[in-house]
Amino acid sequence: MRSMLNKVVPLLFLVFFAISFSGFSQGEIDKQDKVFFRNERSWSGSLNSNGWGLNYRYAKRLTAFSSLVFDVDFASIRHPKEIKSQSPYKGGWGRSYVFGKTNEAFSIRGGTGYQKELFKKFDQGGISVRFFSGGGLSLAWLKPVYYQKVTGYNPNTMELTYESSLFDPDYMQSVYDILDKESFFKGMNESKFLPGVFARAGLCFEYSAEDRLIHALEGGVQFEGFLKKLPILAIEDNQQFFITLFVTYRFGKVIDAKGQK
């Protein structure tokens, strides 16, 4: 988590500073028709301190400066102790995996929230700043991870023998006990689901030069909790509650727009 934050946070501040400097330096008068009634539809991709995420958002205008938002997310959930490994037998051609991982974890979320415009964009190339918050229901999707467990050596073919297996902490003591990771789709029919809740808040910096298009950077914090710990690694230190930071690029368009010169 710390390494992810060391990369994400400086990048976020650098981009925000660059956009802000650009907006203040241009100062061109925006001659476009201004949109006063605007519902918005947008999509986003995010880097989180425990994974990545995708989002769809619909924002319904309530007043000139506030909107009701509806969000749908799909995101990965990583354990903070995950370390990528690769089979020593494949010479770099095997699938990368996390030694000791028992389940791939993803979160499917749906929720509502509130968005308020704090600073409006007046000049072409300027920036509007919005505060957003919200929350809703989560559903953790846990898919078992299968490995090719080394079982011996065949002298006739001069190849290692293996069997498909879940992680076995009594047998798999090191990466030398694993020939490779099985396909992601193996074990899909054994998936399990856990309900939960989430809440988040942050700031949105919208910088599109066209009034009817949306290009924005967002940053914020999110809390997510489930009914019990998510068994991601074969250790006792799995988590039930997750506090994450996120950086998001959002793009979309204004729909049902009504404006005036």
Q: What is the CATH number of the domain that holds 125?
A: 2.40.160.20
Give residue-wise pLDDT tens across range 55-100: 999 999 998 889 999 999 999 999 999 999 888 888 778 889 999 9
Rounded to 10 degrees, what is the CA torsion of 178, 183, 185, 189?
-30
Confidence of residue 211 (pLDDT cuts 50, 70, 90): confident
Indicate the pLDDT class of residue 260, thresholds 50, 70 and 90. very low
Copy the structure tokens of residue 142. 């846990």
Could you tell me the two tokens for 103?
Answer: 């389940």
Give the residue from 13, 11, 69, 12 showing the smallest Cα distance to 39.
69
- Residue 29: pLDDT over 70: no
Percent of the chain residues past pLDDT 90, beyond the cut: 64
143 is a domain residue: no
Instruction: Tell whether 90 is covered by a domain.
Output: no
Residue 51 falls inside a structural domain: yes
Average pLDDT, the chain: 86
Q: How confident is the model at residue 124 (pLDDT cuts 50, 70, 90)?
A: low
Instruction: Please state the domain count of the chain.
Output: 1
Average of pLDDT values for 195-210?
Answer: 95
The whole-model pTM stands at 0.84
In a domain, 16, yes or no: yes
Distance between terminal CA atoms of the chain? 48
For residue range 140-158, what is the model confidence (pLDDT) as tens digits? 999 999 999 999 988 888 8
User: For residue 131, is pLDDT > 90?
Assistant: yes
Q: Does some domain include residue 204?
A: yes
Q: How far apart are CA 214 and CA 205, in angstroms?
A: 10
Calpha distance 87→95 (Å, rounded): 8
pLDDT, one tens digit per residue, over 171-189 is: 899 999 999 999 999 999 9
The model's confidence at residue 37, banded by pLDDT at 50, 70 and 90, is: low
Other C-beta atoms lying within 10 Å of the C-beta of residue 209: 14
Domain of residue 29: give its range: 2-83+100-136+187-260
Q: Which two tokens stand for residue 226?
A: 């489930």
- Determine, yes or no, domain membership for 78: yes
- Indicate if the pLDDT at residue 209 is higher than 90: no
